[in-house]
Amino acid sequence: MFVLGIDPGLTRCGYGVVERLSARRNRAVAAGVLRTDPADDIPVRLAELQAEVRGLLDEYRPDAVAIERLLFQVNVRTAMQVGQAAGVVMAEAASSGCRVALYSPNEVKSAVAGWGGADKRQMEQMVRTQLGIDQPLRPVDASDAVAVALCHLAMVPMADAVARRGSS
């Protein structure tokens, strides 16, 4: 199973592709950041982001796309742009036939670090530990996106068990 994790943003949109090798073993396939120029108009930037996300979906053919859900943002303009970026990612993922899952920051932290209050440094260290990565993932948006993918892989068995139980 391949999962594309997304830490949405319009200026910097983190992505991470993780493959499940076995019940307890995952492998990092790719991580990085999609960037748009803040000087460009928002519709142009959203179109650029859409094309980049489509490229990731075409290249990696993930089974699911996991996106970190924005819960709170002091800056309304930033919140709007993050929401717009997340919407573009959701639409592209759905159009390509991928399942889409949204996770709160606390869900991601709990699934990856075991504690919903983990800070950025702790999260980055847990991502590296779980995937056997020696070097820090930079920028942090890439590490955050990989964490979202790992969260989805941790949550999928639970969701599948609940679904099986409900259909019995």
| Reported pTM | 0.90
| pLDDT tens-digit series, residues 47-60 | 999 999 999 999 99
Provide the residue range defining the domain that includes 139: 2-166
- Distance (Å, whole) CA 115 – CA 110: 4
Identified catalytic residue from 19, 52, 68, 107: 68
Catalytic status, residue 141: yes
What residues contact residue 102 under an 8 Å CB cut-off, 6+ apart? 66, 67, 68, 69
Could you give the number of structural domains in the chain? Answer: 1
Which domain CATH number covers 100? 3.30.420.10
Identified catalytic residue from 19, 92, 107, 141: 141
| pLDDT tens-digit series, residues 52-103 | 999 999 999 999 999 999 876 667 778 899 999 999 999 999 999 999 999 9
Catalytic status, residue 124: no
Catalytic status, residue 134: no
pLDDT at 114 over 50: yes
Q: For residue 125, which of 143, 141, 111, 110 has the smallest C-alpha distance?
A: 143
